[in-house]
Homo-oligomer: A and B are copies of this chain.
Amino acid sequence: MNTFGNIFKLTSFGESHGQAVGGVIDGCPPGIELDTGFIQNELDRRRPGQSSITTLRKEEDKVSFLSGVFEGKTTGTPIAFTVTNKDQNSSDYDNLKDVYRPSHADYTFEQKYGVRDYRGGGRSSARETIARVVAGAIAKLILKKLSIKIVAYTSQVGSIALDNDYSKYDFLQIEETPVRCPDGEKAKEMIQLIEEVKADGDTIGGVVTCIVKGVPVGLGEPVFSKLHAALGAAMLSINAAKGFEYGQGFNVDIRGSEANDIFYNDNGVIKTQTNNSGGIQGGISNGQDIYFRVAFKPVSTILKQQMTVDKKGVETTIEAKGRHDPCVLPRAVPIVEAMAALTILDYYLLSQTTVLL
């Protein structure tokens, strides 16, 4: 259950304070040039300590490839990779050994497995997403060859939300601010809010919007494996994700006559006048932009005293030490992109099995 994908498959491993986190990619097409600079850059986008609004935990997060690459190119065999855990202040977590942090995985994990690596959240730590970002970066390299492009940004933090839809923004602005929001004014407000929340020892939630451009018509399956269902599962598997919507989403106060996307012929290409479908109709991509939104809750680790229980069921208090993100949004952006890349590439490869003889 630690494998994602049908054809392009990522098996993820590793705990927050173990020796390493990493993954194995199976089903990667051969002959792809492994642009390690690009991959490391993607990792750097998710790295802790990159700005004042992320955790101060400092990890170099250098990726090593152990297999599946020969003379700089993929060979079609499994690509194993590792990122060593270095800045491990495990002692920060000694006080958590016997206590369950509220709204964390501590209690449920221990009940399920009878044991847990309590250091830094162990397997349930967001550090696991390193594997996703590395694999997602490789997927992006392949999607680039297919002219498919994925971009995500922070569209809401707390009550501060962007006013316009994605088409109104310049995506080149996204990486210009530490909060990864293409609207400069809103970005400032978001950063200020996050800093206030942080100063208060508290945390705050938000929303990431993601757009996939250039997807050919025909990805996705009509029934259980609808493309948006696969994207939804991918996004909801990210730590702290609480909701997913695509196209018109939860905007349900709309009539069919308004919502329907009218087809027209644009010089031989079938397009739609609007895109309430979010680029997916009947579970299958229709060639228009795919877009969706992912809701993230506030980080559960706060620097305030909270009530809880310990392993013996005795009520006690807890107060987090350690270095934590006041808001996951900035670092969630590259993870959302990575999971989108893994899903879209997987469904592209899957679509190759629908052979028209």
Residues of A at the B interface (CB closer than 8 Å) are 1-4, 7, 9, 11-15, 18-22, 24, 26-27, 29-32, 64-70, 73, 75-80, 82, 100, 102-109, 111-117, 122-124, 128, 142, 145-146, 156-159, 197, 202-207, 217-218, 220-226, 228-230, 232-234, 236-237, 242-257, 259-265, 268, 270, 272, 276-278, 280-286, 295-302, 304, 306-309, 313-315, 349-357
Contact = CB atoms under 8 A, between A and B. Distances in A.
User: How many monomers of this chain does the complex have?
Assistant: 4
Nearest to A17: B70
Contact of A109 (B9, B230, B282): B282
A77 B222 CA distance: 9
Contacts of A70: 15, 18, 115-117, 122
A204 B353 contact: no
A21 B68 CA distance: 10
Contact of A249 (B232, B281, B295): B295
Pick from A76, A112, A357 the residue with the most CB of B within 10 Å.
A112
B123 A223 contact: yes
B244 A113 contact: no
B18 A259 contact: no
A253 B281 CA distance: 31
A109 B285 CA distance: 9
B78 A2 contact: yes
Contacts of A223: 1-2, 12, 123, 128, 237
B11 A205 contact: no
Contacts of A64: 19
A32 B355 CA distance: 11
Contact of A357 (B29, B298, B309): B29
Nearest to A101: B260
Contacts of A67: 13-15, 18-22
Contact of A252 (B145, B158, B256): B158
B262 A29 contact: no
Contacts of A300: 256, 259-260
A15 to B, nearest CB: 6
Contact of A250 (B1, B102, B250): B250
A326 to B, nearest CB: 9
Given A66-B13, A66-B20, A226-B237, A242 B253 contact: no
